[in-house]
Structure 1
Amino acid sequence: MWEDYISNTLATHRDRSTQYVILRSEQLVGTALIILCKAEATRHIRNVEAATKKTGLGGMSGNKGAVGIRLDYYDSSFCFITAHLAAGHINVEERNNDYRTIANGLSFLRGKMIGSHENVIWLADTNYRINLENNEVRHLAANDQLGVLYDADQLKFAMEAQLAFMGYEEGPILFRPTYRYDLYSDEYDTSEKQRIPAWTDRVLYRGAGLDLAVYNRAELKQSDHRPIYAIFHATVRVIDTAKKDALQAQLLAELTHTKAGESLEQKLSKMNIKTGIARTPPPPPLPRLPERPSRHNTLGLPDGVLTVSKSTSTNASVPPPQPKDPFDSDHEHSASSSEEELYRSSLMVPIEPTPISNSTVRAWPVKLPGSRSLIDQF
């Protein structure tokens, strides 16, 4: 259903000069992840896989859990995860445990884990709340005192204490809490439960090749959550196939070259073949992109797009940098090439990373009535 709805929406969009296709989708009960890409980009994408991990009722129920989709774009690996963590204002430890269960347990083929990828983006209903009284949160939100609210954010505390999302970054939160609204209204929850407003829906990421350009909420009122979205610029690695082919030919020529009167079988019999393959170091990290602009705290920019730009505002909610996640794989990166040994050999040949111009990752967590749909789009 969601695939058809999204495809039809894109097909009827006023700018139809670019054709998009659904690359992969996966669903766990009400949590869905859909990856779209430009049609011409499909020839550069491979090794697309999906996986799920349940966390509800001790891993027995899929009402809570995560969906992940991984892929290789050119020669860089990407992993996208959407998750729905434990609800309830006081259930912080349950949410932390859900994160650890997903980080440790969501796996793909050939032993790839979330931490095996160079670039990782989470788009999740984290359900973390704000540790302030209801009336105070509503008053601060109405007056755009976002920095004060962020100082009481449960996810901020969890990240600082290295209890969840270690090693991840988040853009400055420059929008009001996205949960919980009355349907088709700008009023926070007026039901009997009077839920405290919070930033439950978040986009967190890590990767030297990712540069956050936009992080904002969309004013769609069909749900009790305001959906949020993020736009990233991505730099990817491109292996020089001509050099790789030349290296392969050179290695083969050296292996099969024989002296006068010597057969190939005789040469091979004299070779000292090691039983183990030495582990080559991971590829060097991609060069850091220019420093991100300073944060500001201005709301209501045209078209609802909030771009990070320089400012000295003290109200901006700026997440601190995080250390490496101990629950991740020990390997920094996973090889993108399916020819593993040749890929390792090619790493020994100096090759400058080639930036791909206009490569953009857009991530929209979208929540509409009755279900959840999360879209990642190249």
Structure 2
Amino acid sequence: MTTTNLLEFDLDGLAAFCERLGEKRFRATQLFRWIHQRGASDFDAMSDLAKSLREKLKGCAHVRALPVVSEHVSSDGTVKWLFDVGDGNAVESVFIPEDDRGTLCISSQAGCAVGCRFCSTGHQGFSRNLTTGEIIAQLWFAEHSLRKRLRADERVISNVVMMGMGEPLQNYSALVPALKAMLDDHGYGLSRRRVTVSTSGVVPMIDRLGNDCPVALAVSLHAPNDPLRDNLVPLNRKYPLAELLEACNRYLEHAPRDFITFEYCMLDGVNDQPEHAEELIRLVKPGGRVGVRCKFNLIPFNPFPASGLLRSPQNRVLAFAKVLGDAGIVTTVRKTRGDDIDAACGQLAGDVKDRTRAAERMAKQRTIPIKPEA
């Protein structure tokens, strides 16, 4: 008999599911806490649920994470998991530990259809959207496996960024319930300021997100003018810079932060010259071409053969940052994390397909190559 994975629901969805079982909403709240706060998957362990409800759930529901194909731990403590999502597809998630936070980078699609030149995931192509359950399962698994490993009683993951494989806003119907589960005080209780959706610029969906579930917004900008951005981010041909930045300004009316983060991948000789920085200033400063309250995050490019691109030298990155900073624009240079395990920005999905085929072979042997917990 087909059963329902309860990771597919935000709290409202789970309440509707419980109502169909003849149960009241407070039972859904109890169940939601067990699943997300405690990481429980065994209904018998949910001791404050009525025995009658536990028996009902056993017959129609389950709580199941994605199968883990592999796990890699970087020398800097970054952890990358490869999850099998079936039919030869796999997605990756990355946990980045820092002194004051723990950030999980989550995928929203298997592959990506946007096709940005500097992104290895885009060169893989697009397979399919993930379901809400497949999105939230990455957080569910990472949070509770890390708690066990670190022997932590409290939350390990304080920040979530939808910056893994895929364009989140092209999977909107699955994204929003997953965000709501992350934000819910009965779930992960994350602040809206600490959940970030990164988009390459799907303008209509930026507007919808601002109305439906405003969280922090990061926009993959990467160029100061339309001809260059058309080449680097093909979606710009549909939603050019002026439209995109106007959507950013509309989003700020709802956003939990008072600025938009613009991500800017530094490409040697392509978009990293002082004149590019000056053009960005004219684009985003008040009174400029469009003007938007923002900060810039300059990202070192992680080269891969199919791109034909190279990383900007560090001195040029710092000079670029200084031009922006001198104009009063808050600018940071992202530190590369996890590049020794292909977990750095733009590197996800490096050899996902080969590893997925390997996982399928090993699944027949009922084994998964995951490193033992410390």
Q: Please say whether Structure 1 and Structure 2 have the same fold, judged by a TM-score greater than 0.5.
A: no
Q: Which has the higher contact order (CA 8 A, sep 6+)?
A: 1
Give the structure with the larger helix fraction: 2
Give the structure with the larger strand fraction: 1
* TM-score, length basis structure 1: 0.31
